[in-house]
Structure 1
Amino acid sequence: MANPHILRVMAGDVWAVGSVYEAYVGRWSRPVATEFVRWLAVPPATRWLDAGCGTGALTDAITANAAPALVVGADMSLGFLKGPTVVNADAAALPLATGEFGAVVSGLALNFVPRPGDAIAEFARVAKPGATVAAYVWDYTDGMQMMRWFWDAAREVDPAAPDEGPRFPICHPPALEAAWTAAGLGEVSVRPIEIPTVFTDFDDYWQPFLGGQGAAPAYLARLDPDRQRAIRDRLENQLPRQADGTIALTAVAWAVRGLRVESGTNRADVRMA
């Protein structure tokens, strides 16, 4: 259908302000979502669940590229959700029928779930046999360069600064493979999705870090003004610049997909693709 009904489901608050998220990383999530949906190649007229739908980048990519019959969006944050229909939910205890969807997906959200395995088990439960179950997460160790540059500069100023790389163990190919296989999903494959993240100037890079949402902005907000300024100065001096003043970086997300299989079958083949 060209204009499917979109139902967004939520409970509680994790990220509070959608516009702040959009300026920080939301704007980079749209090209990742588009490539992800194309990679899945789900047949048209399929019922989709977008778990952790956030501001709707993945939902919009599904609508634009997959001709879905229905998209149900689930998210924890009140500040992100929009649309006329809102229903309380939890990624680890979805109030949805077993075997209801032909595609269950999650974009840039799984690492924020306290127990990702519980959520993946729910994704598998609400997927019908043969359905695609898939997700993608940022590569916080090295691939998300805007954050890598920030944390490296922060640790020069404050050796005790945290680091998002070790914080999210699910954001690595072996962990994603293992989690999908443990949920009983078959034909599991993992691939990187790399996109350009080009900032028009240093302010375009720096200002989103002042929004207070996300690990890096929240850390920065806790610092005294002198340390904030020291990190800013290091970044302004160290970030690579193009001749026109733009800052051209890249961002990598790891994407994983598998198939919901009938109970009692064994199709836990794992491959990189």
Structure 2
Amino acid sequence: MTSSFNVHHAAGYEQLMGRWSQKLAPLFIDFAGLADGEKILDVGCGTGSLTFALVKAADLREVAAIDFSAVFVEEAIRRNADPRIKIRQADACALPFEDGAFDRALALLVLHFVPEAGKAVAEMRRVVRPGGVVAATVWDHLGGMPGMRMMIDTVAVLGESGRQLRARYCTQPMMQPGEMQRTFVEQGLRDVTETQLMIRMDYQNFDDYWAPIAAGEGPLGKYVATLDPEERARTDAAMRDAYEAGRSDGPRSFANVAWACRGVVA
């Protein structure tokens, strides 16, 4: 499997997205459900936003966490001090676990970066016991992330490569209304429910917003890294203008919506 999410440094990811996934994790756990004594699989654990929230939310027996990125796995292992948590590098589309090994399999902000997202859902279902739960949440890139749309709409105006970025970014898997729900049903899950979760992303200033993207983190940073010096200067200036929106630099707050879906293994 490949992933469309790129990461260079764990600290850069934390500024770009990790701090927001930490805010989303408790809402997702409430939706997915959790009970004392359970064995949970965290698919695409990143630096551990969901992993470490899980053991705070219930007295779990074990949490297995996997990620495709060696950078993420190394950082999550470095942060871990709980013997119940086991972290390893693995493929969401070929999970290295036996059938029915877990009570729940959860994926926080992962499936939209998995090209074969349906296969990942099938693998999550496979490793969960009958009666257990599979749940996932993904950002609504098309209609629910105004701070990120501000960037991709700005670069789309600047040139064809920006328009191509927008087309890719807004049409990733699992992000359209009902899409995750249909996939869960197609993969044999029952009692499937889809809802929306919302957090706010609060930035101190333009640099707080732009620095990790400018450093090449994430899919938007990957695009910025391809620009020549003239294009980069034009993009930096246009993004500052978009962020400031005619006001002086300073705090900005954006509401962000994620789709969440939950199903039961038959």
TM-score scaled by structure 2?
Answer: 0.87
C-alpha deviation, 1:227, in angstroms: 1.8
- Alpha-carbon contact 2:199-2:256 (below 8 Å) kept: yes
Cα deviations by residue, 1:58-110 (Å, 9 ceiling, x for unpaired): 11111111322110001111111132865453211212111111110011111
1:33 alignment counterpart? 25
Equivalent residue, structure 1, for 2:72: 80
| Counterpart for residue 193 of structure 2 | 189
Give me the whole-angstrom Cα distance separating, in 2, the residues matched to 1:240 and 1:188: 42
Conserved in 1, the CA contact under 8 Å of 2:138 and 2:258? yes
| Residue number in structure 1 paired with 2:114 | 113
Secondary structure of residue in 2 paired with 1:58:
helix
Q: Distance in 2 between matches of 1:186 and 1:172?
A: 20
Q: Which consecutive residues of structure 1, in runs of 5 or more, have no partner in the other structure?
A: 1-12, 262-273
Distance 1:218 1:35, change over 3 A: same
The alpha-carbon deviation at position 212 of structure 1 amounts to 1.2
Q: CA deviation at 1:240?
A: 5.5
Aligned pairs, number: 249
For the Cα contact (< 8 Å) 2:40–2:103, is it kept in 1?
yes
| 2:227 matched residue in structure 1 | 223
Decide whether the 8 Å contact of 2:125 with 2:134 is kept in 1. Answer: yes
CA distance in 2, matches of 1:75, 1:211: 22
When the two chains are superposed, the root-mean-square deviation of aligned CA atoms in Å is 2.0
Q: Does 1:199 align with 2:234?
A: no
- 2:263 equivalent to 1:258: yes
1:240–1:248 CA contact under 8 A, matched in 2: no
* Aligned 8 A contact 1:138 1:252 in 2: yes
Match of 2:82 in 1: none
Could you say if the C-alpha distance between residues 167 and 214 of structure 1 is closer, same or farther in structure 2, counting changes exceeding 3 Å?
Answer: farther
TM-score after normalising by structure 1: 0.85
Task: Name the SS for the 2:254 alignment partner.
Answer: strand
3-state DSSP class of the match of 1:255? strand
Provide closer, same or farther for how the CA distance between residues 44 and 231 of structure 1 changes in structure 2, counting only shifts above 3 A: same
Instruction: Give me the identity figure in percent.
Output: 33
Compare the two structures and name the one with the higher helix fraction. Answer: 2
Distance in 2 (CA, whole Å) between partners of 1:237 and 1:67 is: 48
Q: Cα deviation per residue 1:3-37 (whole Å; 9 max; x = unaligned)?
A: xxxxxxxxxx9534322211111111111111100
Q: Is the 8 A contact 1:130 1:259 kept in 2?
A: yes
With 97-106 and 205-214 compared, the bigger mean Cα shift is at 205-214
Distance 2:117 2:33 in 1: 25
